[in-house]
């Protein structure tokens, strides 16, 4: 009962005082404003045509051919994150990677990054 009371208190406090985030930093690099995009981005049709059959796991560590996955993105700042190009100007990535300002699409190897 005591543990449940503590959990409920923490949840109540979290709802009443949400974390402050700096959303300006996340979107200023690409958009230069905080205004939402009013039109839906066009799909990246060339990616749709080049998607290979997905295998459930990595086996034998074989390197993929250059250009095989053109929709994979590298997001870089102090650490590296990955993402997937889902439209002409939209990269889907993990929530903790949204503050990154350098996004590269089509990078095959870390040595390609200059």
pLDDT in tens, 80-101: 888 888 888 888 888 888 776 7
> How far, in Å, CA of 87 to CA of 98, rounded?
17
- 61 occurs within a structural domain: no
Number of domains in the chain: 1
Q: Which domain holds residue 9?
A: 2-52+67-109
Kindly calculate the radius of gyration of the chain based on its CA atoms and give it in whole angstroms: 19
Question: CA 85 from chain center: how many Å?
Answer: 9
- 62 occurs within a structural domain: no
Q: List, for residues 15-39, the tens digit of each pLDDT value.
A: 555 544 444 444 434 444 555 555 5
Instruction: Identify the band that residue 68 occupies on the pLDDT scale cut at 50, 70 and 90.
Output: confident
Helices (H), the chain: 2-16, 23-31, 45-50
């Amino acid at each position: 009962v005591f543990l449940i009371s503590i959990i409920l208190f923490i949840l109540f406090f979290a709802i009443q005082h949400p974390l402050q985030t700096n959303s300006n930093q996340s979107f200023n690099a690409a958009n230069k404003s905080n205004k939402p995009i009013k039109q839906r981005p066009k799909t990246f049709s060339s990616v749709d045509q080049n998607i290979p059959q997905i295998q459930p796991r990595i086996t034998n560590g074989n390197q993929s051919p250059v250009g095989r996955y053109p929709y994979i993105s590298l997001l870089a700042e102090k650490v590296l994150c990955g993402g997937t190009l889902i439209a002409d100007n939209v990269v889907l990535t993990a929530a903790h990677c949204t503050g990154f300002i350098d996004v590269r699409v089509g990078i095959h190897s870390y040595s390609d990054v200059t």
